[in-house]
Each structure stands twice: as C-alpha cells, then as structure tokens.
Chains A and B, each alone.
Chain A
C-alpha cells in the first residue's frame, strides 16, 4: 500500500521510473526522463521512502535501476486489492527487476527489464552506478530469455538483495522492438523459449507437473498451460 500511494505522485503518463537506494537508509523513486525527448521540457518528480516503511530492506547504497512504471502500477493495484506484500529484487542496471508476491493460492513473479548503460550492454557491469538512458530495454529482455534457455538459476527467494542471472553474451544484433513484442505476444506452440517467456508472469502452485516456480532450475514460473 505504501508503494501504491507513492506511485500516485507520478503522472499517469509517466513511462519509466528509477528506484534507488539513497543516503541515510532511504529508498527513492524518481521519474525517468527519456533523453530522446526534450530533456528540459519534462517535469521530474521525486520522492523518498524511509527504511521503516518497508518490512525489510537490503540494498546496496547508491544502487539504482530504471524500469517501466505502467506494469508496476498494474501489479501494485492487484497487490493492494488482494492485500499482498511485495518483494522487489533488483540488481545492476540492465539486469531484470523481479517483483514477487505470495499468497496461499498463488505466487506472482513480475519480471521487468531495466535500462542499462549503452557501454555495458554486452556484459553485466560489476559496479553499481547511475544508469543512463540510451539502450532500449529489449536488449535486456533478450539476454534474459537466453539466460532462461540456458537454465538460469533463480536463487532469489530468501537471498537479498537480488536473484542472480548468469548472462551469456547476447546475440550480436539486437532485435527490433516490434519483433520483440510479437515474440512475446504470439502464442507459438512448440517453440520452447517463447513459451517459457510468456509463462513468466504468473505461476500457479496448482500447476500439474510439480513444484511451483521457486526452486525450479530452468524457469522462474512454469507454464500454466502445462507441458504436462
């Protein structure tokens, strides 16, 4: 609920927001300005949340990631209505941010791509620094998808600050944003990587074929349509 109230302050159209750990144990949210558009014309909104407003905080000071607000808002309103606690896991800019929530009947994993630095798009950067905008987020989605195929280790639950996703070198040609979307949305039966990606968003503990999302070796959330 704290977060839902916090995001109210951002404009309805605000595309991206930066979440960061500031000084003095504060967590900040700041609207992200797209460099492409006129930077001097955009209104910037910023607010800080105290550590005590969270149930638990384990962040590296100065760390910061930028992600899409729209999807986050959607999850927030769902979580608020269902009275769920949200856990946010993030890593360096460019690596995905995962929001998880758990209930007796469901588990939610929302994976969002974060903006990365242009220079470090081919390998994960080891130092936490402010992410500049330039690289489109589809680069990150791609690396993430590859990591999935390769059997990324989730390892996130219970180990703050973030799940680690070993990254391979991504394909050299970044795909078209449009193409990327089509891959996500088209139901392409029998094509393993796409199917896995589509199923990331919600996994149900009732899925036949076993364990829920958490301890899986290969995917964060099993395909609810069930290979079996």
Chain B
C-alpha cells in the first residue's frame, strides 16, 4: 500500500485547501478513499441515528501534479484511511505560498500521512515544514460501509438560492432555534421556517427552478404525478445546515437539494472539479 502525491501549482493548492477546509467543518473524522483517479471524503454516519452523511469526490488530476497510488491489493486498487480533516486543513492553511506540497503515506510508529510543505522563508532560504497526521487504515471488510449513497427517492428537487443569502438567513435563524424546516415545491418555491414559543420566522424564495431529473433514467415516478404547488418539507438540525453553508467559500456551479418529506434532505453542490453531497436526516 503506497501513496504519494505532490502539488506545485499555487491555485490548485489553494483550491485543495478550500475543499479540505469545507470538509473539516462538516466532519470531525471521516474516511479518505483513494483510487487511481479520484479522492473521496466520506462520512457514513447515518446508521448512528441523527448522523449526517457526506460524500465528496475530487478528480486528482485537477489538483495534483504527481499522484501515485497502490492499493491494498491488485484487484482492490484503493486505499481507505480514517482521517481527521481538520489536521489536513491546518497543514494546508500555512501553505498558502508554498513552492511545493507533498503528501505521503508512511508507517513509522503508526500510519501517518506525512505532509511536507516547502516554503520560502523570510531570509529567502527554503524552509520545509513537515506535519505528521495520524491516520487509521480501514480494512477491506469495512469498505462496504463507505459505498456511494444512492440518490434518495425524493419528493421535490429544487435549486438552492444564492448560498450567501441562504447562509446569512440561516445564521440569524440559528440564534433563535435549534431546528429549521426546509420546504420546497416543484414550482421553484422554497421556504425556510423556524418556530419558537415566541416567534415564527419564514423566509420565502421564489423562481429557483427545479432540476430536470425527469429526463434521467430511473427518475422517481412520484415526481410525475406530484402537484407542483404542494410542498415537501423536512425539519432538520439547523447547525448542520449552517455548517454546510458556512464552509462554502466559492460559489458552486450548481447547488440543489432533494427533499424526501419528513425523512431526509440531500444537498448536492457541484464545482468544476469537486462534487459534494451532504445528507441531513430529518429530526423526529
């Protein structure tokens, strides 16, 4: 099992830094899956009641100048590691102006991702900072726990409003309530509602547009007979929603959510070279 990779392009490095920063906000600990062409950050916490699920996929070619991976076995050419994304994000934070960023899987006393950042120091000499990030190798028998979650049989799918707007609304609502109701219909309308003993606040969004899932194979049949005005809703933990929105520093190319009434909300955020799916289960 071997892994080593290198980034020299500053833009790619910053981009990767932003992705790990987002992941760090969403999960304390998650699985990092490495394949020949991709990296995945996976959180499969859904079994533990109330846990959110995360699936983030990056094409390594878009970030790394060098990428060598040899999996656990020839037929299973993949590596699954359990990692604390905050550590990776921290190592990247101080690498803003690095000349090179190298990452390698090592196993000295315990398995580690050794990150070496080459910087130019004040005196113009090259400084190398190394970070040893402890990881745990996830054995093959557990790989099934980390399969890509299938798109749920949703009732409504709708594009999200401008994330910045949504973020500021949710942030203010967070001060008033622990849970928030998201509802949306197939006419491009979405409401965010909170309700406390003292006050109810609703923010209405219109003309958002609904993604044309109908054109894809295997579209949920329920969407064809659904009344376009009828709202599908789910009450979710507001903190999880706020964490998702707070982590977005760059506007995604596409941002949408699928709501399964009273069960789960599935957020999909697509950037050019990274896709992020976040599942927030509905509260009882």
Contacts and interface: CB of A to CB of B under 8 A. Distances in A.
A52 B125 contact: yes
A43 interface: yes
B122 A1 contact: yes
Contact of B134 (A9, A40, A49): A40
Contact of B127 (A11, A41, A49): A49
Contacts of A41: 84, 134
**Interface of chain B: mostly helix, strand, loop or mixed:** mixed
A42 interface: yes
Contacts of A49: 121, 127
Given A2-B121, A53-B121, A47 B129 contact: yes
Interface string A4-16: 0110110100000
Nearest to B94: A9
Contacts of A46: 129-132
B103 interface: no
B96 to A, nearest CB: 10
A11 B130 contact: no
B122 A44 contact: no
Interface in A28-69: 40-50, 52-53
Contacts of A53: 121-123, 125
A48 B119 CA distance: 12
Contacts of B94: 8-9
A46 B108 CA distance: 15
Contacts of B91: 43, 45
A44 B129 CA distance: 11
Q: Chain B interface: which size bin?
A: 10 to 19
B271 interface: no
Interface in B94-133: 94, 109-110, 121-123, 125, 127-133
Contact of A47 (B123, B127, B134): B127
Given A41-B134, A42-B134, A50 B90 contact: no
A45 B130 contact: yes
A48 B129 CA distance: 7
B129 A52 contact: no
Contact of A5 (B84, B90, B121, B134): B121
Contacts of A48: 127-128
Contacts of A45: 91, 129-132
Contacts of B87: 43
Contacts of B128: 47-48
Pick from A47, A49, A52 the residue with the most CB of B within 10 Å.
Answer: A47
A121 B128 CA distance: 35
Contacts of B110: 40
B99 to A, nearest CB: 15
A225 B131 CA distance: 45
A69 B68 CA distance: 37
B90 A43 contact: yes
Nearest to A29: B129
B32 to A, nearest CB: 15
A42 to B, nearest CB: 7
Given A43-B133, A46-B131, A48-B127, 18 more contacts: A2-B121, A6-B127, A8-B94, A11-B90, A41-B84, A43-B84, A43-B87, A43-B132, A44-B132, A45-B129, A45-B131, A46-B129, A46-B130, A47-B128, A48-B128, A49-B127, A52-B125, A53-B125
20 contacts: A2-B122, A6-B127, A8-B94, A9-B94, A40-B109, A40-B110, A40-B134, A41-B84, A42-B134, A43-B84, A43-B134, A44-B132, A45-B129, A45-B131, A46-B130, A46-B132, A48-B127, A48-B128, A50-B125, A53-B123
Q: Give 3 nearest A-B pairs by CB, closest first.
A: A47-B129, A44-B132, A43-B87
